[in-house]
Amino acid sequence: MTSPSTSLPPAILVWSGKGGVGKSTVAANLAVALTGQGRRVGFFDADFHGPSAPVVFGVEDRMAVRDGRIVPVEARGVQVVSSGFLAGPRHAHVWHGLLLEGAMRQLLEDTDYTGCDVLVVDLPPGTGEIQTSILGSLRVAGAVLVTTPHELAYADVLRSVDLLATAEVDVIAVVENMAYATCTHCAHDFVPFPGEAGRRLAEAFPAARLVRLPLDDAMTSVSGKGLDDVTAAIEAALTGP
């Protein structure tokens, strides 16, 4: 896949060089939030080695094939595609090289995203063949960087953004996840993890919106909570100047 597909809707990449920052939860919440604003949203789980869409969206369905086209699993109004829907939760696919490239091409190009006007792409951590293939396959409207406050997360995320810069993809929002928490006894906010990764990334991308999300059990469910500023940035990226 060497040139962006014109048959697929414009994509918003949810990106982080660091695992365990809550990127998949943020991506799923964004997809549902955009649906709530009237967008017709597709969701592509690009983490073939650790697909999380079935768990995050709370569905165990398998994707069907109709008239030679893959039919996404619908969850919360979002059309979801994931390699996690190809087999049971305990099955481990060993994807690599041409096998990975072929599977990704099929799930992207042979899927019927009927009526979708935006595709939210949940990318795995790091910078590898999945990221480079996605960048060459889709019309990317912008990227949302997800981090936690910790310095290690900042270093990993910053390491990965060079690839976005090379592909001329704009960072439209920085989400600092688990930035603070609220005490259940006194209702005061406190900082559970040290660091200022979100602020430092936002300084590196002054045009991006910074959103700080709390450490909150409710965020593990798909609700769209706390992401209004990010969806506004996405709308601006999709509609253009």
As a whole number of angstroms, the distance between CA 121 and CA 1 comes to 16
As a whole number of angstroms, the distance between CA 121 and CA 201 comes to 21
CA-based nearest residue to 57, from 87, 37, 77: 77
pLDDT tens per residue, range 120-158: 999 988 777 888 889 988 999 999 999 988 888 888 888
Q: How far from 13 is each of 60, 167, 195, 210, 218, CA to CA, in Å? A: 24, 12, 25, 16, 23
* pLDDT of res. 34: 95
Task: Provide the Cα torsion 6, 127, 148, 230; round to 10°.
Answer: -10
Judged against a pLDDT cut of 80, whether residue 93 lies above it is answered with no
Cα angle, residue 173 at apex, residues 10 and 26 outer, rounded to 5°:
80
pLDDT bracket for residue 21 (50, 70, 90): confident
The 8-class DSSP code of residue 73 comes to: E
Judged against a pLDDT cut of 70, whether residue 2 lies above it is answered with no
The segment with the largest mean pLDDT, out of 2-11, 96-105, 137-146, 148-157, is 137-146
Judged against a pLDDT cut of 60, whether residue 89 lies above it is answered with no
As a whole number of angstroms, the distance between CA 95 and CA 50 comes to 11
* pLDDT of res. 117: 94
When pLDDT is averaged across residues 184-205 and rounded to a whole number, the result is 82
Half-sphere exposure of 56 (CA within 13 A, CB side): 28
- Structural domains for the chain: 11-239 (3.40.50.300)
* pLDDT of res. 1: 44
H or E segment and range at residue 122: strand 118-122
* pLDDT of res. 3: 62
Helix count and strand count (H, E) for the chain: 7, 11
Q: How far from 19 is each of 47, 62, 182, 196, CA to CA, in Å? A: 11, 26, 24, 18
Beta-carbon neighbour count of residue 68 at 10 Å?
7
The segment with the largest mean pLDDT, out of 146-150, 186-190, 216-220, is 146-150
DSSP code string of 127-194:
SSHHHHHHHHHS-EEEEEEEE-SSHHHHHHHHHHHHHHHHTT--EEEEEEEEEEEE-TTT--EE-SS-
What's the pTM value of the predicted model, to 2 decimals? 0.88
Indicate the range of 90-94, 133-137, 162-166, 178-182 predicted with least confidence: 90-94
pLDDT tens per residue, range 23-74: 999 999 999 999 999 999 999 999 888 888 998 998 888 888 898 899 999 9
